[in-house]
Amino acid sequence: MALELSTARRAGWFALFAGICATATLHFVAPSLPDIYDGLPPPEGPYHYESPPPALASSNQPALSGMLTLSVQGGQVRAAGVQTDDGQAAIFFDAGTLKVPPTAQNITIRIEPLQSTPPQPSPLMIIGNVYRISASTEPEGRSVTLGKPLQVILRTPPGAYRTLQSYDGSHWHVLRVGRVTGHYVTASLPILGDVAATTAPARTGSHSRLSALDLIHRIHGLAYLTVVVALVLVGAVVLIRRRSLRRGS
Amino acid sequence: MRHVQGILPWGAGTALVATIEEAVVRGQIQSMWTGIAGVTRGLLVSAGVFAAMHVPAYGLSAMPVDLAAGLTLAGLRALTGRVAPCAIAHVGADIGGWLWS
């Protein structure tokens, strides 16, 4: 009995140590891995509209912008991330993503919600805010372009959502959407410009209707609940069988 | 730090789900497999089940971190012989992780 207990404690210490080390390593090596919230979407505050729908105008808080100034070292800008102060839009990029003029010493990256939006990306419609993502040298104010795509994360308002699009000043381009977490969507952005979530016109304004995103979440939640319920049932059956075996012996 | 609006109902739901998971995975499955196949296999099976059951909600990309978390909680169960510390650690990690993310 003492030997069994000692083995269990040794294995327990080892597993505990290995698990904590692995979790910490994953946290630093792959910080983009999803957090664990046990199937329940974490609470989010209301969406901040730059131009709110009439029904939400009285309670709406304006969307906020974000800005970051970085120094240019060896002709390169280091890897960094910028987000708006309300956390509704963010970008992340690797070292060398931003193509800077050789003489530049600093650059400023901005994410700003637009009051006057570009033309609608027919046949789809913009939902939520349009964010302008720009970068320029300081203090000259010369535009900076991208050498390779950066990652953009956008929060979408409740309701229907189809895809993210970027506007280059004359045309809208559909972005390849990556991971979706809650109402946050990631996409690869090949050029700096305006970014917005878009949807089919028929769905616009129907906050009570399920969006594809909500549906995916509900299906995921359902699958998760099914697994949890199945495990509870298995556990209950095992428990009942154990008790009946104990009684039998 | 995240805003705390809506944390009470979410926190209660998360605590409930996490506690049920611990009661089933660590309380039943790990205990059963430890009895059948030994402590180490019991640990590994419960960590594997814990990681697998999160795949429908979070996808395969979450599997490594779930496996690591499962191993940690399984170790805690083996070390203490009780489920309550695992449930407390699990709920604390869920809520703490959200607050500081």
pLDDT value, residue A200: 76
Question: ipTM for the complex?
Answer: 0.85
| A19/B72 Cβ within 8 A | yes
**Token output for B38:** 């030994």
Structural domain contains residue B75 = yes
Structural domain contains residue B17 = yes
- Mean pLDDT over the full length of chain A: 80
Structural domain contains residue B82 = yes
Interface probe, candidates A28, A38, A233, chain B, greatest B C-beta count within 10 A: A38
| B73/A19 Cβ within 8 A | yes
A228, containing H or E segment: helix A212-248
* CA A15 – CA B40 distance, rounded (Å): 9
Identify the sign of the CA torsion B23, B24, B26, B32. positive
Structural domain contains residue B83 = yes
pLDDT value, residue B72: 94
pLDDT value, residue A125: 87
Confidence bin at A157 (pLDDT 50/70/90)? confident
* Choice between A158 and B61, residue whose per-residue pLDDT is larger: A158
Query: Over the stretch B37-65, which tens digit does the pLDDT of each residue have?
Result: 889 999 999 999 998 888 776 667 778 88
Query: Over the stretch A80-113, which tens digit does the pLDDT of each residue have?
Result: 889 999 989 999 988 889 988 888 899 999 999 9
**Average confidence (pLDDT) over A176-194:** 81
pLDDT value, residue A45: 77
Nearest by CB to residue B75, choosing from A19, A34, A44, is A19
Confidence bin at A133 (pLDDT 50/70/90)? very high
* Model confidence at A240: pLDDT above 50: yes
B62 contacts in chain A (CB < 8 Å): 33-34, 36
A34 contacts in chain B (CB < 8 Å): 58-59, 61-62, 65
Across A17-21, A101-105, A125-129, least confident range = A101-105
* Choice between A200 and B80, residue whose per-residue pLDDT is larger: B80
Phi-psi region of A205 (alpha: psi -120 to 50; beta: other; left: phi over 0): left
* Model confidence at A249: pLDDT above 90: no
Query: Over the stretch A33-47, which tens digit does the pLDDT of each residue have?
Result: 555 556 555 667 789
What is the DSSP annotation of A183-217?
TEEEEEESSSEEEEEEE-GGGTT-TTSPPHHHHHH
How many C-beta atoms lie closer than 10 Å to residue B10's C-beta? 20
* Choice between A23 and A222, residue whose per-residue pLDDT is larger: A23
pLDDT value, residue A209: 44
Q: Which residues contact B51 (CB under 8 A, 6 or more apart)?
A: B63, B66, B67, B70
Nearest by CB to residue B28, choosing from A11, A228, A235, is A235
A8 contacts in chain B (CB < 8 Å): 34, 39, 78-79, 81
Local structure of residue B94 (DSSP, 8 states): H
**Average confidence (pLDDT) over B66-74:** 92
* Model confidence at B15: pLDDT above 90: no
B39 contacts in chain A (CB < 8 Å): 4, 7-8, 11-12
Residues of A with CB under 8 A from a CB of B: 4, 7-9, 11-20, 22-23, 26-27, 30, 33-40, 42-45, 179, 220-221, 223-224, 226-228, 231-232, 234-235, 238-239
Nearest by CB to residue A8, choosing from B13, B24, B78, is B78
* Choice between B92 and B56, residue whose per-residue pLDDT is larger: B92
A248, containing H or E segment: helix A212-248
Structural domain contains residue B23 = yes
**Token output for A92:** 């992340």
| B68/A34 Cβ within 8 A | no
B27 contacts in chain A (CB < 8 Å): 235
* Model confidence at A207: pLDDT above 50: no
**Average confidence (pLDDT) over A65-85:** 90
Q: Which residues contact A97 (CB under 8 A, 6 or more apart)?
A: A77, A79, A146, A147, A148, A149, A150
Domain boundaries, position B54: 8-100
Structural domain contains residue B44 = yes
Q: How many CA atoms lie within 13 A of B4 on its CB side?
A: 4
Burial class for A164, CB neighbours closer than 10 Å (0-12, 13-18, 19+): buried
* CA A154 – CA A197 distance, rounded (Å): 8
Residue of A nearest to B25 (CA): A231
Chain A closest-CA separation from residue B38 CA (Å)? 9
Question: How many distinct structural domains can be found in chain B?
Answer: 1
